[in-house]
Structure 1
């Protein structure tokens, strides 16, 4: 996960020492940070969460969010990072950060998590693309460690075999858990002689996976493995998430059991919006952001609240625009909005007045929101 702007809410940082740096492929590497005993309570985390790294460059503080590959039981913070260009934050880390150096690391957060059920028989399926393997790896290590009755299936897409990230670690997990973990690799730019595993992970591949891989269930000969799936975890680019999430839903998995994490800005809805809304024009908006109060007018409610504020050049925090990351979380103090389906807020939080600006359709002539959450 990488945020484009810092959130309005306060994030707690601590200085951690870099214990390990390792190059994985030509464009990816890992960083491992030590957690001193006095900070251990601040770095308790759940599988699938992330931390923010803060770096000072040219007098400015740069922030980037990175998912952890470590599992909670390992007692360390390990990150998988991809370098997209020599001008990127990631390249600066790779080039300049040395073992023994100190770096500001935020306390863990994020909601790409699932409830632990160590006493149940579960089937969990993961879909990952490229660097999207990072939180999935955290989940799978944790599930194998804490849920002895859970079986796991991973479908992992990369351009070529050479670009598979954490290949050795994944192979070791399969070796140690041959009856509980099955991994299948897919390649979008390499021919391997089997059409099933050639091409991108998308809705068509999901149908083939269900019919050719997740077929007869050894534990119940009258059903398919797919029919026993309890949770689906998806991480990668927006188009991949949208395609796979909808395919899983259309093949019978409830939306509440489909979890996803986005690794780039994505401006589309994950699921289709089927509801129509009455047209409201000339909407007065008041909002608080970074201790500043702003007022503006929206022409109408044909676009969501966040998108309209960004068009007007307000510095509202965001990352996904798709109801996944929670960066644009705020409190609705005055007015009415329709909050569309999202992956972030709980029903309890919605009932308390919290909304996501990116998923909010304004339904009143006046609204007032507060982005300064503590």
Structure 2
């Protein structure tokens, strides 16, 4: 086992052997890992979670997060990966590591998860773009396997038909669960016979989907399929998530039922800030991180805490800056803040004083934070 390292929180890594490597498209591939018997418990996971992989790239040690495409019932760890450039770290991973090699893999984490409800009738809609299909695929496999009364709709966007990762897996699911799963493919750079499926998944496309696909409900003649949607899953780039999450919300889906996973740093708020706060100048901030104490002063409380600490070059942990990943989770030990949005923390954690620094506005003259959660 690797020593614990700090990556937002202390993370445990283990050496795992690559059991299978498969090229999916010209720039995506998958890795399946062999889990030794003594690590089975360590690598139990929920659909939608990810692991971090630690490896050498261009002579440097890097850590990348990759979502699992496998479902828990499959009892294996399979990751989907996209090569964004020939010199990028994932490209190095693809070229330098093969079946039989070992990599340091973290224990599963992440909260892009759903509570299983096998006895209920549910309708779940998924939106994915490109490699964003990976955690969505894990969810769909798991739900279809465990929830015999749940119906699902997937709207999957790619540049072209050649860029679709996991198409065969999706088609196999659609065939096996033809009575409960429908999949629709959209292309942003390939003309289609039906213009409906041409273009990106955004708020305009969602309106068309609601009106032309999720309209008549065979199970309830007085409502539409969209009216029956219980949960929405979204995974892709930040701008897509922002557009679709707000569109779903404006079309009647409560924010608590809209779940998203971000695959890149995104500095915008997913939902617009609807509150105004009294101006506070010269906010005193004390925080603890890796056992060290820090002190500083924020000019005002107009900007969120994490973003202001980063401007001042403090090495505070972060990834998405949008309240999704949880990397900047900390404990508010003194003072008052407003947590604008929260896709990550549980109610119990909030009650214990946990906040996300990237989504918190100072509401008192002094605040004290502790990033050392473990």
How would you bin the TM-score normalised by the shorter chain?
over 0.9
Q: What displacement does 1:313 show?
A: 1.0
What does the per-residue CA deviation read over 1:10-56, in whole Å, with 9 as the maximum and x for residues that have no partner? 10111111000111111100000011111101111000000000114
- How far has the Cα of 1:6 moved from its partner? 5.7
Q: Distance in 2 between matches of 1:259 and 1:73?
A: 22
Q: Is the 8 A contact 1:287 1:294 kept in 2?
A: yes
| Structure 1 stretches of at least 4 aligned residues deviating more than 2 Å after TM superposition | 5-8, 56-61
| 1:100-139 paired onto structure 2 within 5 Å | 100-139=100-139
Partner SS for 2:87 = coil
Matched with 1:75 is 75
**Distance in 2 between residues matched to 1:98 and 1:86, nearest whole Å:** 17
Q: TM-score if structure 1 supplies the norm length?
A: 0.97
Paired position in structure 2 for 1:175 = 175
The 5 Å alignment of 1:150-169 reads 150-169=150-169
In the TM superposition, residue 7 of structure 1 has moved relative to its aligned partner by 2.2
Distance between the aligned counterparts of 1:356 and 1:7, measured in 2?
15
- Once the two structures are TM-superposed, the CA of residue 59 in structure 1 deviates from its matched residue by 6.6
Mapped to 1, the partners of 2:295 and 2:86 lie a distance apart of 39
Query: Which piece of structure 1 moves more, 216-225 or 131-140?
Result: 216-225
Aligned partner of 1:315 in structure 2 is 315
Give secondary structure in 2 for the equivalent of 1:42: coil
Q: Is the 8 A contact 2:85 2:91 kept in 1?
A: yes
- How large is the RMSD of aligned CA atoms in angstroms? 1.2
Matched, 1:279 2:279: yes
- Match of 1:18? 18
Cα pair 1:153 1:181 within 8 Å, conserved: yes
List gaps (5 residues or longer) in structure 1: none
Q: Unmatched 5+ residue regions in structure 2?
A: none
How far apart, in 2, do the equivalents of 1:11 and 1:288 lie? 18
Which digits, 9 at most, give the CA deviation of each residue in 1:42-73, with x for residues without a partner?
A: 11100000000011457743111110000000
- Classify 1:364/1:198 alpha carbon distance in 2 versus 1 (closer, same or farther; 3 Å): same
Alignment of 1:244-259 (within 5 A): 244-259=244-259
Report the counterpart of residue 266 of structure 1 in structure 2.
Answer: 266
Residue pair 1:318, 1:327 contacting (<8 A) in 2 also = yes
Could you list the per-position Cα deviations for residues 194-231 of structure 1 after superposition, in whole angstroms to 9, with x for gaps in the alignment? 22111110011111000000111111122111111110
What is the aligned length? 370
Q: What secondary structure is seen at the aligned counterpart in 1 of 2:29?
A: strand
Kept after mapping to 1: 8 A contact 2:332/2:368:
yes
Contact 2:9 2:327 in 1 (8 A): no
- By relative contact order (CA 8 Å, sep 6+), the higher-ranking structure is 1
Q: Take 2:237 and 2:9, find their aligned partners in 1: how far apart are those partners?
A: 26
The TM-score with structure 2 as length reference comes to 0.97
8 Å CA contact retained: 1:48, 1:112: yes
Alignment of 1:278-357 (within 5 A): 278-357=278-357
